[in-house]
């Protein structure tokens, strides 16, 4: 709306300037012609005075007065037209400056609105991201807890398995040691009993 009104005002100002310029050019031509006519009348009046044609000279003087009055009026009109034209020129400059200012202001407003939209989008994205993070955090916590439980279960299971393996190895070693001790004991008993057996055999032979 602002730009449309401004453009309309500029169009009106341009039309007025063109009209005033045409009228001013026409008035300047008339003013120049009046100056030439006044000069001619002055020459004619001088000649009539020399010729002592005073009545005709008086008529020329009356024409000169009327023309001089018209020239003054035309001169004032020309001055007013020049002032109006200068005013319109200034209005045009002001409008152009205002248009540039408005364009800059509108661009700034658009830029700010765009920044606001971007911030809102960013805030919305951050809110959605935070909500997603909360959901994912809950999910990961549950999964991590489950993984920890699974890891603890596997760790405990492996630990128990290792303990059982160690117990079995210890039991096997103890059993082997007991068996070795038993074998040694048997051998020792056999050694201890050997003289008695030899004595019994000698007694039986006698």
Task: Read off the tokens for 19.
Answer: 């009209």
Q: What is the CA radius of gyration of the chain?
A: 65
Query: Last residue of some domain: 94, 125, 156?
Result: 125
Which domain does 185 fall in, by range? 137-194
Contact 37, 67 (CB under 8 A): yes
Contact 99, 2 (CB under 8 A): no
The residue among 26, 29, 27, 10 whose CA lies nearest residue 89 is: 10
pLDDT at 95 over 60: yes
> What counts of helices (H) and strands (E) characterise the chain?
2, 0
- 115 and 13, same domain (yes or no): yes
3-class secondary-structure state, position 143:
helix
pLDDT confidence tier of residue 190, bands split at 50, 70 and 90: low
pLDDT confidence tier of residue 155, bands split at 50, 70 and 90: low
What is the average per-residue pLDDT within 178-195? 60
pLDDT confidence tier of residue 200, bands split at 50, 70 and 90: very low
Report CA torsion sign: 172, 177, 180, 185: negative
pLDDT in tens, 96-126: 888 888 888 888 888 888 888 888 887 777 7
Q: What integer pLDDT is reported at residue 148 of this predicted model?
A: 44
Query: Last residue of some domain: 98, 125, 152?
Result: 125
In 39-50, which positions are buried (b, 16+ CB within 10 angstroms) versus exposed (e)? Answer: eebeebbeebee
More confident residue, 63 or 134: 63
Query: Last residue of some domain: 103, 125, 147?
Result: 125
Residue 199 lies in a domain: no
pLDDT confidence tier of residue 72, bands split at 50, 70 and 90: very high
pLDDT at 184 over 60: no
Highest mean pLDDT, choosing among 7-11, 115-119, 165-169: 115-119
pLDDT in tens, 16-31: 888 989 999 999 999 9
Q: How far apart are CA 159 and CA 161, in angstroms?
A: 5
Lowest mean pLDDT among 33-42, 71-80, 132-141: 132-141
Q: What integer pLDDT is reported at residue 69 of this predicted model?
A: 95
pLDDT at 131 over 60: yes
pLDDT at 185 over 70: no
- 160 and 180, same domain (yes or no): yes
Q: What integer pLDDT is reported at residue 206 of this predicted model?
A: 47
Contact 64, 35 (CB under 8 A): no
How many domains, the chain?
2
């Amino acid at each position: 709306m602002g730009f449309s009104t401004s453009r309309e005002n500029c169009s009106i100002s341009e039309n007025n300037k063109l009209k005033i310029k045409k009228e001013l050019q026409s008035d300047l031509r008339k003013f120049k012609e009046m100056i030439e006519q006044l000069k001619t009348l002055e020459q004619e009046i001088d000649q009539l005075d020399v010729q002592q044609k005073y009545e005709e000279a008086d008529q020329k003087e009356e024409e000169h007065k009327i023309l001089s009055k018209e020239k003054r009026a035309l001169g004032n009109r020309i001055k007013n037209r020049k002032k109006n034209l200068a005013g319109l020129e200034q209005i045009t400059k002001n409008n152009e400056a205002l248009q540039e200012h408005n364009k800059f202001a509108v661009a700034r407003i658009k830029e700010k609105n765009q920044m606001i939209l971007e911030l809102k989008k960013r805030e919305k994205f951050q809110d959605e991201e935070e909500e997603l993070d909360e959901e994912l955090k809950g999910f990961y916590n549950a999964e991590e807890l489950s993984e920890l439980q699974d890891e603890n279960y596997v760790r405990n299971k492996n630990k128990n398995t290792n303990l059982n393996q160690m117990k079995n190895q210890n039991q096997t070693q103890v059993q082997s040691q007991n068996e070795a001790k038993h074998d040694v004991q048997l051998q020792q008993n056999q050694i201890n009993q050997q003289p008695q057996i030899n004595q019994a055999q000698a007694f039986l032979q006698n």
